Amino acid sequence: MGLFRRIRRARLASQVIRRLRHAGAADARYDARAFAVRFSRGGEATKVLPLDTLLAERARRRRERRHQVDRFVAGFLDTPLPPQRWADVCPLLRPVLRGSVPVGDISAPLRRPALPYLSEFVVIDQPDTMTYVAAEQLAGWGVPEAEVFTAARQNLTGAVLHGVATESVVVQFLDDGDSYWTSHLLLDGWLARLAPQVGGVPVAFAPERGTLIVVADGSTHLPGLFAQAELAYLTSPRAITPMAYVSDEHGHTVPYAATPGHPLYDCVRRAEAVLAMQEYARQAETLADAAPLTLAGDDLRTRTVWTPGVLLPRADDVVIGDDVRPWAEVAPDLERVAGLEPPRFRRI
């Protein structure tokens, strides 16, 4: 992203923050990566106020900028607080697929592992805002974690496509803010049921929160979709993953697999490496002594460098002094650091 674009976005965020603070939200702060402002009122959970819509509106109607910001913030401040009783909040829950690094200012979000480097979170979906559920809220509701996740998934529409494809086609779901298309990958069996509509075994991409792309395995479009997904993932402030996914024999969504010699082997390996590097980089922003993960070269092997005291990401190779050693050889001398996702390791 260019310097002037970053400045323009930051300036817009500062205007929103000033309005929020004037309205009593003293902890409002700008999340540049997500292009959003996070704030809370009183003891309520942190709210995420995305700025994409406001930026687009300002571009269309520049003369009304000041009033747009006022209306935009007022809409969020007028949003009622999430219900406190389980019976009231339950219908509002939705699951979301996100990177495993905790979201924004939530110190203990409710989450569980979903896919490599990705976790399933739960949000409270209200007309004008989306609030992440914190683990501490469950005590007030009097329900266990499993029940919250189950309720969130059951609240998805489980939408289906109609018709049968006569050839391999690419289906793109664009989220209107209420559909949660990328979250449908968390529903067992949902992806597999799209086979008649895409003309083969469905392969899905969820590069960012508003886009889900599904195509048949073996389609000539697949190599290009890997490249398209990576570009969207690396440039979107709402990125999820550049990887491709399929359903396994139990209907669970799993990463698309390709062995050496497969025509898409390099595409799959690169997508895995890009996701790992980005998620570890996000984690390192708030973690001391975190060693970076890099791509070693044309063979698409990931690499990290050990120095005394560092926390190592999982990598294909570890550089120790002048030696480059495969992970399997180094692993017996490592211990996993508790509480970190994605996982990190230290030497014993």
β-pairing verdict for 323-326 and 317-320: antiparallel
Q: What is the CA radius of gyration of the chain?
A: 22
Report the pLDDT value the prediction gives residue 107, as an integer from 0 to 100: 59
Which of 201, 219, 209, 135 shows the shortest CA–CA distance to 179?
A: 209
Task: State the number of CA atoms in the 13 A half-sphere of 64 facing the CB.
Answer: 11
Phi and psi angles of residue 163, each rounded to the nearest 5 degrees, phi first: 90, 170
Determine the average pLDDT of the residues in 53-80: 61
Neighbour-count burial of 63, counting CB atoms closer than 10 A to its CB (0-12 exposed, 13-18 middle, 19+ buried): exposed
Strand 202-208 to strand 211-216: parallel, antiparallel, or no bridges (unpaired)?
antiparallel
Spatial CA neighbour of 187 closest among 94, 91, 90, 92:
94
Counting other chains too, the contacts that 222-226 makes at CB distance below 8 Å and 24 or more residues apart are 222/264, 222/267, 223/263, 223/264, 223/267, 225/170, 226/264, 226/267, 226/268, 226/270, 226/271
Antiparallel, parallel or unpaired: β 253-255 and 170-174: unpaired
Q: What is the pLDDT of residue 92?
A: 94
Q: Which residues contact 192 (CB under 8 A, 6 or more apart)?
A: 201, 202, 247, 251
Distance CA 315, CA 302 (A): 5
Task: Parse the chain into domains and list their residue ranges.
Answer: 3-77, 86-154, 170-255, 276-347
Q: What is the mean pLDDT of residues 250-275?
A: 96
Question: pLDDT (tens digit, 9 = 90+) per residue, 230-239?
Answer: 999 999 988 9
What integer is the mean pLDDT of 88-96? 95
209-259 tens-digit pLDDT: 988 999 999 999 999 999 999 999 999 988 999 999 999 999 999 999 999
- pLDDT above 90 covers what percent of the chain? 55
Q: What is the pTM of this model?
A: 0.77
Residue 71 pLDDT level (bands cut at 50, 70, 90): low
pLDDT score of 301: 94
Residue 276 pLDDT exceeds 80: yes
Q: Decide: residue 237, CB within 10 A, 0-12 exposed, 13-18 middle, 19+ buried.
A: middle
Specify the pLDDT at position 30: 85
Q: At what angle do helices 52-60 and 65-77 cross, to 10 degrees?
A: 150
252 Rama class: left (phi>0) / alpha (psi -120 to 50) / beta: beta
pLDDT at 63 over 60: no
> How far, in Å, CA of 214 to CA of 237, rounded?
22
**Mean pLDDT, all residues of the chain:** 85
* pLDDT score recorded for residue 160: 62
Asked if the model's pLDDT at residue 3 lies above 80, the reply is: no
